[in-house]
Amino acid sequence: MNKRILLLTAVVLLIVAGLGLNYEAIRDELFDLTGESQLLPQVRGFFQYLSNSTRPAPHTDDFAVIAHAGVNPFGVNTSLQLEVEPHKREKQIKMIYEAGFRWIRQEFTWEDIEISAKGDFWDHKWDQDAWKKYDHIVDLAGEYDVRIIARLSNPPAWTRALTNTIGPFAPPDDVRDYGDFVETVVRRYQGRIHHYQLWNEPNIYPEWGNQPVSPTGYTALLCEGYRRAKAVDPNIVIISGALAQTIDMTWRDLNDFIFLQQMYDAGAGDCFDVMSTNAYSLRSAPTDHRLQPLLINYSRVEYIRDVMVRNGDAHKPIWISETNSNAVPGGAAGEGIMDWGGFGHVSLETQAAWATLAYQRAQEEWPYVGVVNFWFFKPADDADANQAYYYFRVLDPDFRPLPVYDAIKTYANQPPNMYPGTHQEDHWAVSWEGQWSEQTDDAAMLGRYRLAGQGATARVCMQGGRFEVVRAPGSDLKAQLTVVKGSDGCQTLHAKAGVAIDGFIVRRGSGRRWMWAMAALVGLAGLGLGWWRQRRPISQELS
């Protein structure tokens, strides 16, 4: 039989089989590839997804050994310092905990603490200690078992000869002033705050002031803060300033990939433990798997990871500082709301659905991502209700929850799972029971492992193809470790004394995306061949 006829037969069978599939299932699959909900954008997005194969894929080194990645991922941005009444701060923290958030990204505003002059920590306007409300925030976080990511930014006017005329967020003239502030905060909260983020969005206006952004200038600031903080407490975790997602190449906004590479060129790799970036879903859902350098979507995180890997930082994680979609009522430009950021527009219900998808994808696909901080929990009042950014909130100023609050609360309070990747023994999805002791060994992954004593068991729930337990180097190979697989995807480890566990590896299962892509390509080829045959002259067909 003619090969062309065989090909056409195969194409026809594929098309018939495709038409026999459930239409809604096909749309769901396209949504999972493109993040688009409507048919035409899905078709366009699918062709763009197929184009991923025409350019080099980001090298993410998913199975690298990575510190600070296996943590509870649920975080949220707060502005608790703006709540004047202490009982409202406590109500926020209580609702944050009940929603399943275990991290708050809270600014310790430099201009609100060291207000009038260097070394002056007194609020002269209200005649009170400027630390008072921040001490209260730290106390509340400890009471409700919520960890703090302390963002240190927003210099006071006295740190610049031009004061605030170049913008209130501009860096200080002398980075040593910033180092002094960082050291002061770390000393005050030593043993209570373990994670500090140095600056915010240094690659865009206005976060670097009304002046050209500067990767080298930010690196100098970052390294000064890192050095000063580690001198106080070597065990604290330093997080780089969150990079804003942008494709711009101007004096005031610099592409996040280029900015990060120039940071590395300036020596920033030695000055942070965790890389940070924002990852918004403004015009497509977090399921958008299109990888295009000039497309701003949730997948942009993979390019940030690629830059890190190429610069020898595969062992460091990414923490997402801000994620969400914008639920502006009446459309982005409607009802007098200023959409100066071009934030797009989704319904409250879509915002709620996309929120859980963002956390789900980060956990399932990106083993190098740790905390994902939602932007943001609650405004103190409605003064900015005419601004589009106001509509990223989780609660209204009167504490009324929006649909996204309940969606996250349902999702975040589910039992944790371990997904594909290499994971440490302190991963948040592992439950340890009986006698286990933590041991240190330079030969172990990240220098530590767990040693079993009497009655030692561990339970791990995982989602993936294959589960492996990593034994510590030099451990007693005769010591018995029995793994019992449950029907719920959980594994129970029964360890005899002497078993040393250095981590876990979850392998990926087989996926379906390549099948859809191949079917689509074959189908399109068949349609094109059919069209070509119809246009051929009859004389050619008979020759």
Q: Which long-range contacts (CB under 8 A, 24 or more apart) does 137-145 make?
A: 137/80, 137/81, 137/89, 137/106, 138/189, 138/192, 138/193, 140/80, 140/89, 140/90, 140/93, 141/93, 141/104, 142/192, 143/93, 144/93, 144/94, 144/96, 144/97, 145/97, 145/102
- Give the mean pLDDT of 139-161: 98
- Give the mean pLDDT of 265-276: 98
152-179 pLDDT, tens digit each: 999 999 999 999 999 999 999 999 999 9
- Say if residue 31's pLDDT is above 80: yes
Give the strand pairing for 421-423 and 500-507: antiparallel
Residues 48, 35 contacting (CB under 8 angstroms)? no
Three-state DSSP at 335 gives coil
In DSSP notation, 35-103 reads ---SHHHHHHHHHHHHGGGGSPPP---TTS--TT-SS--EEEEE-GGG--SHHHHHHHHHHHHHTT--E
More confident residue, 39 or 112: 112
Q: What is the pLDDT of residue 486?
A: 86
- Say if residue 20's pLDDT is above 70: no
215-230 pLDDT, tens digit each: 999 999 999 999 999 9
Residues 428, 371 contacting (CB under 8 angstroms)? no
CA pair distance 346, 330, nearest whole angstrom: 10
Q: What is the pLDDT of residue 4?
A: 56
CA pair distance 317, 45, nearest whole angstrom: 29
Q: What is the pLDDT of residue 473?
A: 87
| Count of Cβ atoms closer than 10 Å to residue 435 Cβ | 14
272-317 pLDDT, tens digit each: 999 999 999 999 999 999 999 999 999 999 999 999 999 999 999 9
Nearest one of 458, 373, 318 to 150, comparing CA atoms: 373
Cβ-based neighbours of 157, under 8 Å, separated by 6 or more: 111, 163, 164, 168
75-101 pLDDT, tens digit each: 999 999 999 999 999 999 999 999 999
Q: What is the H or E stretch that residue 291 is in? A: none
CA pair distance 238, 236, nearest whole angstrom: 7
CA pair distance 453, 450, nearest whole angstrom: 10
CA pair distance 334, 336, nearest whole angstrom: 6
Cβ-based neighbours of 139, under 8 Å, separated by 6 or more: none
Nearest one of 374, 303, 419 to 149, comparing CA atoms: 374
Amino acid letter for position 120: D
- Say if residue 2's pLDDT is above 70: no
Confidence of residue 539 (pLDDT cuts 50, 70, 90): very low
The beta strands (E) that lie in 153-232 are given as: 195-200
H, E, C per residue of 481-528: EEEEECCCCEEEEEECCCCEEEEEEEECCCCCHHHHHHHHHHHHHHHH
| Count of Cβ atoms closer than 10 Å to residue 251 Cβ | 10
CA pair distance 451, 439, nearest whole angstrom: 7
352-394 pLDDT, tens digit each: 999 999 999 999 999 999 999 999 999 999 999 998 899 999 9
- Say if residue 531's pLDDT is above 60: no
Cα of first residue to Cα of last residue in the chain, in angstroms, is: 18
Q: In which residue are the tokens 């009940």 written?
A: 98
CA pair distance 541, 543, nearest whole angstrom: 6
430-474 pLDDT, tens digit each: 999 999 999 999 999 999 999 999 999 999 999 888 899 999 887
- Give the mean pLDDT of 401-411: 98
- Give the mean pLDDT of 121-144: 97
